[in-house]
Amino acid sequence: MSQILSEFDVVIIGGGIGGLTLSLKLAQANIKVLVIEKEKQPGKIYKGELLQPKSLEGFQEMGISDMVVNESLSLPVIHTYEMKEKKDGSLEEGLYIPLEYERLHSQFPEARMIPHEKLKKLVLDQARKYDSFHYWNPATFEGFTEMDEKNEQFNKANVQFENEVIEVEAKFFVGAEGRSSLMRKAMNQHVITTQYNHQFLTVTFPRPENFTEARMYASHKSFIGLFPLPDNQVRSVMLIKPGEYKQMKKQGLESFYEPFERFEPALKDGVRAIESWKQIQLMIPIRHNINRYVKGNAAIIGDAAHTVHPMAGEGMNLAIQDAIVLGELYVWMFRENQLNPKHLKYYEKVRKKRSDRLSRLSHMSAIAYAWPYKWYQKGRMFALKRLERHPILHYKHMLNISGVGWWPYNLLDGFRFLGPRNAYVNNWFTQKKRSVIFDKKDDYPWLK
């Protein structure tokens, strides 16, 4: 049976990190918001845990950064090692590159690791403090019942909640339901998908207390990423070829322990705490791109709008940053009584360009580790060395992945890449560094 429930200002479908961040932002401004989330229990799937500086700055604007900092572990540097792997399997360090967030002009010159579900709970607990926040869980969005095709207006949606199908009305609908978004389908958005020639195994296991720095190890045929979490845990990712997972399962857990013990002997005991393949998750990377994030009074955020390759640790951050920009826009629209949906285009204008760039950057990072040949590793080592040794190139890379600004790559970078170490670095660089950081006008252009 269907019943019509009172109207909401904004209905958000999906209580993942994107949907929850947006809901908190709206609840803080007394906007009547409903979040519909289908999963009753916290997710068991490993998801993004690395927070980039721009997401931390966004949480600071929302007044929750202290809590996030308390629950997370700071990573000011990502230590990257290229290892020479010999025929007998022994390893020798070929190149060490520190990727330094510390170079950034940000309140948070660091990445931070936080368990995904802990971050979601923290945001949800904050949102629950506001009367304007409504959370239906478990509840499933089933589709729209009333649409005005001509005016591109979505009016009512069906939601399965407490054994009833409830018809929900709202001024605005947001799809934050992840990569298989129903809202994206309702908006008729064509998805361009990229698949990859590799997969990942990912799992969290115990670490020694003093193992507190992020490390990535690559040889010509292996890649392992180690990202420490609070509470003496470490999140690991291991790159494998499609089909290798089945083969490894047949061989037994030793085949999983072995690369960790070889690349990072300090984690020998920790990795052996994994007792079953059930604890280890197979992650199949995929990239989705679409043309529009907004249609009429509907918008999509996070993985619903763009799924990115996980190599650069951007997926969760793009979802958070989408939520913050769209949230700020709704706050302005409701405060100034500017409720014409045409204003949602501001969100698409700011966020689509940034997400497309970071999706491309994540894709390029994936390509850098995609083929298991010695000549390919040599090429990567050359590129990494050149990128790290030139202050401008190093800064550009860290700035662009951090989300706090964007400095496009250009022809001069070719000279910087091939030329001498410190060429062209002077006062100009010090000033330029600041000018490429996004300010309020870039983030929220409707606030004249």
Which of these, 181, 158, 185, 184, lies nearest to 169 by C-alpha position?
A: 158
Handedness of CA 62, 395, 73, 258 (dihedral sign): positive
C-alpha to C-alpha distances, 111 to 37, 46, 440, nearest whole angstrom: 28, 18, 22
Residue with Cβ nearer ligand FAD (182 or 294): 182
Q: Which of 12, 19, 127, 333 binds ligand FAD (CB under 6 A)?
A: 19
- How many angstroms from the chain centroid is the CA of residue 70? 20
Contacts with ligand FAD in 331-390 (CB under 6 A)?
Answer: none
Residue with Cβ nearer ligand FAD (100 or 303): 303
We find the least distance from the C-beta atom of residue 77 to ligand FAD, in angstroms, to be: 17
Asked whether position 310 contacts ligand FAD by CB under 6 A, the answer is: yes
Asked whether position 178 contacts ligand FAD by CB under 6 A, the answer is: yes
Contacts with ligand FAD in 38-77 (CB under 6 A)?
Answer: 38-39, 45-50
Contact 26, 330 (CB under 8 A): yes
- DSSP-derived letter for residue 241 is -
Asked whether position 264 contacts ligand FAD by CB under 6 A, the answer is: no
Asked whether position 182 contacts ligand FAD by CB under 6 A, the answer is: yes
CA 321/CA 54 separation, integer angstroms:
7
Please list the residues that pair with 24 across neighbouring strands. none
Asked whether position 124 contacts ligand FAD by CB under 6 A, the answer is: no
* Amino acid code (one letter) for 19: G
Residue whose token pair is 């850098």: 368
Asked whether position 82 contacts ligand FAD by CB under 6 A, the answer is: no
We find the least distance from the C-beta atom of residue 285 to ligand FAD, in angstroms, to be: 9
Q: Which stretch binds ligand FAD (CB under 6 A): 15-23, 90-98, 263-271, 397-405?
A: 15-23
Contact 261, 268 (CB under 8 A): yes
We find the least distance from the C-beta atom of residue 229 to ligand FAD, in angstroms, to be: 11
Number of residues that bind ligand FAD (CB under 6 A): 36
Asked whether position 316 contacts ligand FAD by CB under 6 A, the answer is: yes
Residue whose token pair is 């955020």: 301
Asked whether position 15 contacts ligand FAD by CB under 6 A, the answer is: yes
Asked whether position 16 contacts ligand FAD by CB under 6 A, the answer is: yes
Asked whether position 115 contacts ligand FAD by CB under 6 A, the answer is: no
CB atoms within 10 A of CB 433: 19
Asked whether position 270 contacts ligand FAD by CB under 6 A, the answer is: no
CA 22/CA 163 separation, integer angstroms:
27
Q: Please give the full DSSP string across 265-323, using - where no structure is assigned.
A: GGGHHHHTT---GGGSEEE--EEEE-S-SEETTEEE-GGGT-B--GGGS-HHHHHHHHH
Asked whether position 25 contacts ligand FAD by CB under 6 A, the answer is: no
CA 349/CA 25 separation, integer angstroms:
20
Asked whether position 296 contacts ligand FAD by CB under 6 A, the answer is: no
Residue with Cβ nearer ligand FAD (115 or 313): 313
CA 159/CA 257 separation, integer angstroms:
45
Contact 369, 320 (CB under 8 A): no
Asked whether position 313 contacts ligand FAD by CB under 6 A, the answer is: yes
Residue with Cβ nearer ligand FAD (24 or 176): 176
Q: Which stretch binds ligand FAD (CB under 6 A): 72-80, 212-220, 316-324, 379-387?
A: 316-324
- Residues at the interface with ligand FAD (CB under 6 A): 13-19, 36-39, 45-50, 140-141, 176-178, 182, 202, 281, 283, 302-304, 310, 313-317, 319
